[in-house]
Structure 1
Amino acid sequence: MAALGPLSRTARLGCNLCRKHRLVFNRNLQRRGIASCIDPSYGLSEEQKEFQKVAFDFAANEMAPHMAEWDQKEIFPVETMRKAAQLGFGGIYVQPEVGGSGLSRLDTSIIFEALSTGCVSTTAYISIHNMCAWMIDTFGNNEQRERFCPDLCSMEKFASYCLTEPGSGSDAASLLTSARLKGDHYILNGSKAFISGGGDTDVYVVMCRTGGKGPKGISCLVVEKGTPGLSFGKKEKKVGWNSQPTRAVIFEDCAVPVTNRLGAEGQGFNIAMKGLNGGRINIASCSLGAAHASVLLARDHLLVRKQFGETLANNQFLQFKLAEMATKLVASRLLVREAATALQQSRADAVSLCSMAKLFVTDECFNICNQALQMHGGYGYLKDYAVQQFVRDIRVHQILEGTNEVMRMIISRNLLTES
């Protein structure tokens, strides 16, 4: 990844964490899991360890010091993300000839896990942006790839993924947003809900209905900001993920050139699902980063907090809880990396493994973060402590990219239809 380079080691100020806690938090991130049993670099190649270190350092120096401020002031950190793009993180698995880094799905997971230790919300948006860039790179023609991908990979422009609608969430094939062909344009009408980056981003990868009912009637259009007929709803107030804006995206007789269609008519649902397979690994990887950081925060709190005359680290119940958290973290990481490898190799079990990873890892990592908050006692409920933000930011991971209930449907369907 040629874009990788040295990073400034000057941690920026400006977040609302107390200075002592901020310094401890950043030091722990830079040590990257000094407890060998949860070291995320085990089993990686030397090259993977290098870009993992770059991602961890970026998380510690450029993201963690601002994480609380971005959350509380709902700041979309455009310039920080563009710095990440200079390191190759704007198009991690996009092909190099259009500006991407050309890395594997496993490499991508390693990077998103590391970045999420600094800010889950921002990294999760970067993962969605990467998914959109990959969809254009993979399903677009050469003209589309050359027109859109370089600016997306540099994050000069930002992308949003538009599938969910007010009336179709888990049942994505029932979407109603329509695109009627008129000359050399599609006339787009309808709305999309819960769109990450909506209103602040430049490129919208939109699933819409160009044919009859069901998945075969769905196509994929790239809609650019500023297109007449494109507008946005109010900025949503959310429990977490506050460093990325969320709005409805609305189309009212929005004329989109036919040249902005990705693939053939009727291919949109297939494009959407292939994008989501990778998106599920990406979001699970973001959960891993939150859980890894939370284990370190819990461990350090147990080592310094005293009750009944001794540190909490001497309490066997809490020792066992910490051991369970570490075990579930490592098990989750192994599952994500196996799923990423399966997807990269286009294995027959890839879809099921991506669903398993999304189901198991987002559930278990939320439990890890929640237990870490519990170990902090009343302090864990204060916004001066990062652990509460990890809990809030990863709760939505059990809902988006296909709810965990839908993941159970996909996995069980695979098992029950095998002969």
Structure 2
Amino acid sequence: MSATAEKTSLNGGEFLIRETEAHQVFIPEEFSEEQQMIADTCRDFLKTEIHPRLEEIDKAKSPDLMSSLMDKAGELGLLGTAVPEEYGGFGMNFNTSMLVAEVLGAGHSFSVAQSAHTGIGTLPILYYGNEEQKNKYLPNLASGAWKAAYCLTEPDSGSDANSGKTKAELSADGKTYKINGQKMWITNGGFADIFIVFAKIEDDKNLTAFIIEKSFGGITMNEPEQKLGIKGSDTRQVFFNDCVVPVENMLSARGNGFKIAVNILNIGRIKLASAAVGGSKGVLNQAINYANERKQFGISIGRFGAIKHKLAQMATKIWVCESANYRAGQNIDDLIDTLKGEGLTDAEAKLKALEQFAIECAIMKVYGSEVLDLVADEGVQIYGGMGYSADAPMERAYRDSRINRIFEGTNEINRMLVLDMYLKRAMKGELDLMGPATAV
């Protein structure tokens, strides 16, 4: 659904204090035939390429399998949904990219690899790169010819990302930077061709971002991390040892890296919530099928009130999360259209819109990840003893779900961010919190 003239759009966070008419809220039933076809392509890909190989993916000894699956996804266009057509993508709107994230969210480790590549790996170049950088990198990232990783976290800088110690030293002739440092928890590290790396130049207070090609050399890495869940996701420590990077590979301006990281995380948060809906739907469908097939006391356990209650609660929370995701996604799309109409470039409009709705992104990240955890936990309970067995699907779902409360900023950090952003906007006069509060 596109923005309409009669539609009065909300500002970010304003849903809490301003009435909205039902017809102003986008619902998934309004997705077009083309968008539904994209979703069907994603479902078919999971059905044929991912779900039959989940065990193989989790036990893969090398990153080659995941890399080959990413190649196949690229051939179907699943890596370039949000990339504009002039750079080799499909140029679909934000809500369509949310839909892709949702459906592929049922892909366990693959969904992590895909989202890291298309989100934090590609979008910094799309939104902050200059034309030369976009033309060089985006077509190959959209097709999957090159895979991307995002290097922000360090051993001593997690939630406090701007405290990173990785250094960038300008050469005497001013033509290159020498990067030295250690990054950890790097998704796709083992097969990435492109790394978005954050480092500090001299004694700068803020980080600077760089686009680093694996071919530059000076990059080494540990073996894949052994993790509780998402075992098929290639996660490593990556070391930069005198890695020489051309000055033209600085992304945006010096000292702008922390801003890039924060704004890209806004996108990652709400798309994580969409992926959580996809994962939750997958678990719910499996739980329903099992409840109908499993018999105790001569009847299907799905006829027991306690099981019905669990399934109903799971479905309700999934529906709430899905509805809120696409409502926020459409609000973002509407603002993007408005800002482009006012003369902003596509990248400028998207960044400003996502920054405006950062409150919603943080809220949905928290809610979506906790819905998935609840759904997976109840899925295990419905399966009973089989839920605890690695021979049944709930064991993997339960383990894989847990990371989402840590990804893209912990839920504790995001809860604080929501309150912080609300209060700051109220103090600036951007949101009238006192008026509605007084009325209550």
Q: TM-score, normalised by structure 2?
A: 0.82
Q: Secondary structure at the match of 2:415?
A: helix
Question: In the aligned structure 2, how far is the partner of 1:212 from the partner of 1:339?
Answer: 39
- 1:161, 1:227 → 2: CA distance? 16
Sort the Cα spacing of 1:199 and 1:79 in 2 relative to 1 into closer, same or farther, 3 A: closer
Shift of 1:77: 2.1
Larger mean CA deviation between 63-72 and 355-364 belongs to 63-72
Aligned CA distance change for structure 1 residues 211 and 107 (closer, same or farther; 3 Å): farther
Match of 2:417 among 383, 388, 410: 410
Mapped contact 1:116–1:123 kept (Cα < 8 A): yes
Whole-Å separation in 2 of the counterparts to 1:416 and 1:80:
44
2:212 match: secondary structure:
strand
- Classify the secondary structure of the residue corresponding to 2:91: coil
Q: What is the aligned partner in structure 1 of residue 176 from structure 2?
A: 185
1:301 & 1:225 partners in 2: Cα distance? 46
In 2, the alpha carbon distance for the partners of 1:90 and 1:112 equals: 11
Q: Distance in 1 between matches of 2:219 and 2:355?
A: 39
The 5 Å alignment of 1:39-118 reads: 42-73=29-60, 76-117=65-106
Cα distance in structure 2, aligned partners of 1:379 and 1:206: 43
1:37 matched residue in structure 2: none
Query: Percent of counterpart pairs with the same letter?
Result: 33
TM-score, normalised with respect to structure 1 = 0.86
Q: Note if contact 1:120-1:289 (Cα within 8 Å) is conserved in structure 2.
A: no
Q: 2:197 aligns with which of 206, 214, 230?
A: 206
Provide the C-alpha distance between the structure 2 equivalents of 1:228 and 1:361, rounded to a whole number of angstroms.
Answer: 39
Of the three residues 390, 394, 397, the one matched with 2:397 is 390
Q: CA deviation at 1:213?
A: 5.1
- Cα shift at 1:211: 5.1
For the 8 Å contact 2:266–2:354, the answer to whether it is kept is: no
Q: Is the 8 A contact 1:197 1:246 kept in 2?
A: yes
> Counterpart amino acid of 1:72?
K
The aligned residue for residue 435 of structure 2 is none
Residues 87 and 228 of structure 1: CA distance in aligned 2, closer, same or farther (over 3 Å): closer
- The answer as to whether partners of 1:166 and 1:192 remain within 8 angstroms in 2 is yes
Q: Which residue of 2 aligns with 1:30?
A: none
Check if 1:256 corresponds to 2:263.
no
1:378 paired residue number: 385
Is 160-169 or 81-90 further displaced after alignment?
81-90
Q: Could you report, residue by residue, the CA deviation over 1:307-354 in whole angstroms, capped at 9, with x for unpaired residues?
A: 122210111011011100000001111122233234443167410000
What is the aligned residue count? 377
Q: Does 1:165 align with 2:151?
A: no
- CA gap 1:210/1:281 in 2 versus in 1, 3 angstroms: same
- The corresponding residue for 1:135 is 124
Matches within 5 A, 1:214-233: 214=205, 217-233=206-222
Q: Provide the C-alpha distance between the structure 1 equivalents of 2:224 and 2:308, rounded to a whole number of angstroms.
A: 43
C-alpha distance in structure 2 between counterparts of 1:58 and 1:244, whole Å: 18
Asked if structure 2 preserves the Cα contact closer than 8 Å seen for 1:41 and 1:49, the reply is no
Q: Deviations over 1:3-23 (max 9, x none)?
A: xxxxxxxxxxxxxxxxxxxxx
Whether the aligned pair in 1 keeps the contact of 2:267 and 2:354 (CA below 8 Å) is: no
What is residue 16 of structure 1 aligned with on the other side? none
Q: Residue by residue, what CA displacement relative to the aligned partner does 1:262-307 show, whole Å, maximum 9, x if unpaired? A: 1111111111111111111222222111100100111111111111
Q: Pick which of 167-176 and 305-314 moved more.
A: 305-314
| Alpha-carbon distance in structure 2 between the residues aligned to 1:77 and 1:173 | 31
Q: Do the aligned partners of 1:174 and 1:213 also contact (CA within 8 Å) in 2?
A: no
Extract unaligned runs of 5+ from structure 2: 1-26, 336-352, 428-440
Deviation readout 1:192-218 (Å, 9 max, x if unpaired): 11000113211000111125454xx21
Q: What is the CA–CA distance in structure 1 between the aligned matches of 2:101 and 2:259, rounded to whole Å?
A: 25
Aligned partner of 1:196 in structure 2 is: 187
C-alpha displacement of 1:377: 0.8
State how far apart, in whole Å, the 2-side matches of 1:405 and 1:319 are: 32
Verify the 8 A CA contact 2:263 2:355 in the aligned structure 1. no
Give, in angstroms, the shift of residue 372 of structure 1: 0.7
Match of 1:201, SS? coil
Q: Which amino acid aligns with 2:183?
A: K
User: What does residue 7 of structure 1 align with?
Assistant: none
Give, in whole Å, the separation in 1 of the partners of 2:80 and 2:256. Answer: 23
CA distance in 2, matches of 1:376, 1:224: 46
Structure 1 unaligned spans of 5+ = 1-39
Aligned-residue RMSD, C-alpha: 1.7
Go from structure 1 to structure 2 and tell me whether the alpha carbon gap of 1:58 and 1:41 turns closer, same or farther (over 3 Å shift): farther
C-alpha displacement of 1:384: 2.1
8 Å Cα contact 1:197-1:244 kept in structure 2: yes
Quick check: 1:281 aligned with 2:270?
yes
